[in-house]
Amino acid sequence: MKRLVSGIKPTGNIHLGNYLGAIKNWVELQKEYECFFFIADLHALTIEIDPRDLKQQTHELIIDLLALGINPKKTTFFRQSDIIGHAELGWIFNCLMPVAELSRMTQFKDESQKNINNINAGLLTYPSLQAADILIYKGDVVPVGKDQLQHLELTRIAARKFNNRYKRYFPEIKPILSPAQRLMSLNNSKKKMSKSLGPASYIAIRDDEETVTHKIKKAVTDEAGVKNLLELYSYFGKKSKHQKMEKAHAAGKLMNSELKEELTLEILKFLKPIQIKIANYETQPLKIDKIIKNGAKKAQKIADKNLAEIKKIIGF
């Protein structure tokens, strides 16, 4: 069985961009691959985050992923910071990674611009740690949204540089994209739906009925905005209705209010059973703790074995 690795940052609740761009695929691919899914809490430190928020958001994210269908019996589900080895291999890759490659990353440029007072070294070396997250398990495939493709290219560079300098050890990874590669923000159709753009940008899977209705009502309806809403509808709504609305849109006859009402209805229908599961998990904090600790045990075994081999190869 091939190995699959992917992660998500605990910087806020899961939104539909994360879900459709990555998590939906994670859930489906559990059947086909040996999966490693983790909460990227080390990566979250590149953004200033209050320790209490980090703890709470990590807890909620674990619950969200379980409610969406991550099955800890089938997969290895853990917290990045629990595994000794990610940061260590990240350092080894830092010593192979060209700064020129790191500094041309779109995410590095965007985040530096957004946080002009906190352009830390972690933002720059972020892809080295990401390469370590994947390669410490010798992952073969990585399901992500389109925004992560650049980082995965650097994972391939890290593997190639290591293999060339020392010996062939790491596999060539392959990204897996979902049909929803890049959902746009509700309030700005030129930017991707993102936690860092604030809540009006996205629909979180924990949003209540009133919030979902309000956010969709306020969504921008320029050309790209309507296209984004139609795309969203295609993932949640009825196929025939979607085709009808696409046709009306092409003929310039689509009522934005109708599109928004239909979309709101379908999203609420999708969210309801997930929110019931979330509420149920919220009553079982000890169970959540146990699940994530068990995941760490499983991951650590493999990370230890591979890191020992890597250290031997580099002459430690």
Smallest distance from ligand TYM to CB 306, Å: 15
Q: Does 134 bind ligand TYM (CB under 6 A)?
A: yes
Q: Does 9 bind ligand TYM (CB under 6 A)?
A: yes
Q: Does 40 bind ligand TYM (CB under 6 A)?
A: yes
Closer of 75 and 130 to ligand TYM (Cβ): 130
- What is the torsion angle, in degrees rounded to the nearest 10, for the CA atoms of residue 133, residue 138, residue 144 and residue 146? 100
Q: Does 173 bind ligand TYM (CB under 6 A)?
A: no
Query: What is the distance between the alpha carbons of residues 160 and 168, in angstroms, rounded to a whole number?
Result: 8
Closer of 3 and 43 to ligand TYM (Cβ): 43
Q: Does 192 bind ligand TYM (CB under 6 A)?
A: yes
Stretch that binds ligand TYM, among 164-172, 177-185, 271-279, 303-311 (CB under 6 A): 177-185
Q: Give strand pairing partners of 39.
A: 8, 79
For the chain, state the CA radius of gyration.
20
Q: Does 133 bind ligand TYM (CB under 6 A)?
A: yes
Given a contact cutoff of 8 angstroms between Cβ atoms, the answer to whether 39 and 80 are in contact is yes
Q: Does 225 bind ligand TYM (CB under 6 A)?
A: no
Smallest distance from ligand TYM to CB 78, Å: 12
Q: Does 3 bind ligand TYM (CB under 6 A)?
A: no
Q: Does 144 bind ligand TYM (CB under 6 A)?
A: yes
Site for ligand TYM in 16-35 (CB under 6 A): 17-18, 21-22
DSSP structure string for the chain: --EEEEEE--SS--BHHHIIIIIHHHHHHTTTSEEEEEE-HHHHTTS---HHHHHHHHHHHHHHHHHHT--TTTSEEEEGGGSTTHHHHHHHHHTTS-HHHHHT-HHHHHHHHHTTT---HHHHHHHHHHHHHHHTTT-SEEE--GGGHHHHHHHHHHHHHHHHHS-S-SPPPEEE--S-S-PBPSS-TTSB--GGG-GGG--BTT--HHHHHHHHHH---SHHHHHHHHHHHHHHS-HHHHHHHHHHHHTT---HHHHHHHHHHHHHHHHHHHHHHHHHHHT-HHHHHHHHHHHHHHHHHHHHHHHHHHHHHHT-
Residue among 63, 89, 97, 193 that touches ligand TYM (CB under 6 A): 193
Smallest distance from ligand TYM to CB 169, Å: 18
Q: Does 142 bind ligand TYM (CB under 6 A)?
A: yes
Stretch that binds ligand TYM, among 51-59, 67-75, 130-138, 203-211 (CB under 6 A): 130-138
Among residues 175, 162, 97, 172, which one has the least CA distance to residue 307? Answer: 162
Closer of 25 and 264 to ligand TYM (Cβ): 25
Size of the site for ligand TYM (CB under 6 A): 27
Residue among 183, 219, 296, 310 that touches ligand TYM (CB under 6 A): 183
Site for ligand TYM in 43-72 (CB under 6 A): 43
Q: Does 148 bind ligand TYM (CB under 6 A)?
A: yes
Q: Does 203 bind ligand TYM (CB under 6 A)?
A: no
Closer of 97 and 183 to ligand TYM (Cβ): 183
Q: Which residues of this chain interact with ligand TYM, rule CB under 6 A?
A: 5-9, 17-18, 21-22, 40, 43, 130, 133-134, 142, 144-145, 147-148, 151, 180-183, 192-194
